[in-house]
Amino acid sequence: MTAKRLSTHLILLAVVAAIVFGSHAPFLRLPFFWDELGQFVPAALDIYREGLWVPRSTTPNVHPPGVMAYLAAAWSVAGYSILSTRLAMLLLASAGAYVSFLLAIRLTQGVPGAPAFSAVVFLILSPVFYTQAMMAQLDMPAMLFTALALLLFLERRYAWSAAVCCILVITKETGLVAPAVFGMWMLARERDFRRALFFVLPLLPLTGWLLYLRNATGHVLGDSGFAHYNVSYALHPVRIAVALQRRLYFLFVQCFHWVGAIAMLRAWIQTKLFRRREWEIAGWLAGAHVLAVSLLGGATLERYLVPILPILYAGIAASLCLAPTFWRIAGQVILALGLLGSLFLNPLHPFPYENNLAMVDFVNLHRQAAEYLERNFSNVRVATAWPLTAALRNPELGFVEIPFETLETSDFHSASIAAIDPRVRVLVLYSRTWEPQGGLLSIPWVRALLEQYYDYEPASKGRDTAYRLGFRPMIEFRERGQWIEVLVKM
């Protein structure tokens, strides 16, 4: 690479990083959210402080330790804090956005209108990328290495692609989809058995991790409960169908993606864009990834699709650039504004709060409740559900200054609340499911489906049970449709 080309890359990377870091400035000290505080940050702290690759302070599971080791390394330089954690993740997100830009250039070669720039703008505006960019979780780093491995593969740098895949599978186990697709492509389409073997190599670090995990925990997935929820529970025909529907809805409808879906359908019918080698490979990778995360993973989180967002937005951007001028401009503007608006506006159906800035509302509510508990019940055992229990127990997570003794319930269903130790005086309930007035959950058959296959129960039932047990509301905090309530037994 020439010095001039290197300087160009560095300048563009700096511009992308400035946008990514600058847009997240208001949230650099935001306390940790859900799986961050309940799983990934404690696991990283175990590596940082004790060199424990299998966590002791949280439940071990199949997730490889790559991201947690990265955070431990960052903390060894900058010290542990919420700020250093957010900055470390934003550094990866900036690299991921820039690699996605380079991938878009490769995928959109020959398409007029500089679609790669539109693609990276759509990615940065995407609500789920925006939130994942600052969070200590696995899917945004997996996006970085998936995009890089694909880019190298498209450039026929197969050994380097396989090397990146080795990093990818230690970042997240579902990253194994990429080398599997690449290896099958080399066998079926390129008839190159020798280079296909390169993509067997990523099996080695992942297999090594699973054997190490099995030796440490007695279970190849780290925990039987985790295995049940994410494998046997998920592999039910109805749950698979619902998961696949959610995946397709998110990719082609939600957040104004329908604009891009229409453009891609037109491009598929009227042009040969998606019949090129690059798009065939990218399409197989995206499809295999969607299928994998629809079959596995009980939570059906949209963040599992972040690794293929660069492919989606490159396809949308290229398709819009192939449309007539008016529709190209209108489509780009509508999609950009729709993505930006979706960062602030919640949908009418249940969704993970981490999909947009509802995660900030959730954290702020829990911080207010924690401060209230510290002022009024600092020496009292508190019953509530995970992850608030973890937030109250560990002051390092940003919610309390003095650790609480907690009793953890699995959820706020009537049966769970009825089973609470009768000696507990303080109970904290909060909105774990998004249930807007007049939303999807107001439809009887939807509620029936969720009750039968997803153990759904309206929050009001659990609250009524708490009242019957003698708990009375002391204070309630509300923010943009979410709530958290402190109840005390009289």
Tell me the Cα Rg of the chain.
23
Q: What is the mean pLDDT of residues 391-403?
A: 92
C-alpha–C-alpha distance, residues 57 and 71, integer Å: 16
Set out the domains of the chain in order of their start, with CATH numbers: 3-345 (no CATH), 355-489 (3.40.50)
**pLDDT at residue 300 in the model:** 84
- Residues 301-360: pLDDT tens digits? 999 999 999 999 999 999 999 999 999 999 999 999 999 999 999 999 889 999 999 999
Query: In this structure, what token pair is assigned to residue 85?
Result: 């954690």
pLDDT at 132 over 80: yes
Separation in Å, CA 387 to CA 118, 159, 221, 280, 362: 37, 42, 21, 41, 11
- Residues 62-104: pLDDT tens digits? 999 999 999 999 999 999 999 999 999 999 999 999 999 999 9
Indicate the angle between helix axes 309-321 and 82-107, nearest 10 degrees: 40
**pLDDT at residue 6 in the model:** 83
C-alpha–C-alpha distance, residues 32 and 38, integer Å: 9
- Residues 190-242: pLDDT tens digits? 899 999 999 999 999 999 999 999 999 988 888 777 777 777 777 788 888 88
Q: Give the 3-state secondary structure percentages of the chain, helix then strand then coil, rounded to 5.
A: 70, 5, 25
- Residues 399-443: pLDDT tens digits? 999 999 999 998 899 999 999 988 999 999 999 989 888 888 888
C-alpha–C-alpha distance, residues 303 and 131, integer Å: 9
**pLDDT at residue 151 in the model:** 98
Res. 1 pLDDT band, cuts 50 70 90: low
Query: In this structure, what token pair is assigned to residue 191?
Result: 């008839």
What is the percent of the chain with per-residue pLDDT over 70, rounded to a whole number?
A: 100
**pLDDT at residue 9 in the model:** 86
Mean pLDDT of the residues in the chain: 93
Query: In this structure, what token pair is assigned to residue 334?
Result: 């509508």
Contact 403, 395 (CB under 8 A): yes
C-alpha–C-alpha distance, residues 222 and 55, integer Å: 10
Q: What is the mean pLDDT of residues 168-189?
A: 96
**pLDDT at residue 389 in the model:** 94
3-state secondary structure of 415: helix
Q: What is the mean pLDDT of residues 130-136?
A: 98
C-alpha–C-alpha distance, residues 121 and 118, integer Å: 5
Contact 307, 143 (CB under 8 A): yes
Find residue 383's DSSP bridge partners.
407, 427
C-alpha–C-alpha distance, residues 307 and 139, integer Å: 6
Contact 142, 332 (CB under 8 A): no
- Residues 270-279: pLDDT tens digits? 999 999 999 9
How buried is 47 (Cβ within 10 angstroms: 0-12 exposed, 13-18 middle, 19+ buried)? buried
C-alpha–C-alpha distance, residues 116 and 109, integer Å: 9
Where is pLDDT greater, at 238 or 478?
Answer: 478
Helices (H), 66-157: 66-78, 82-107, 115-125, 127-134, 139-154
Q: What is the DSSP letter of 385?
A: E
What is the percent of the chain with per-residue pLDDT over 90, rounded to a whole number?
A: 80
Backbone angles phi, psi at 33, to 5 degrees: -120, 135
**pLDDT at residue 71 in the model:** 98
Q: What is the mean pLDDT of residues 141-154?
A: 98
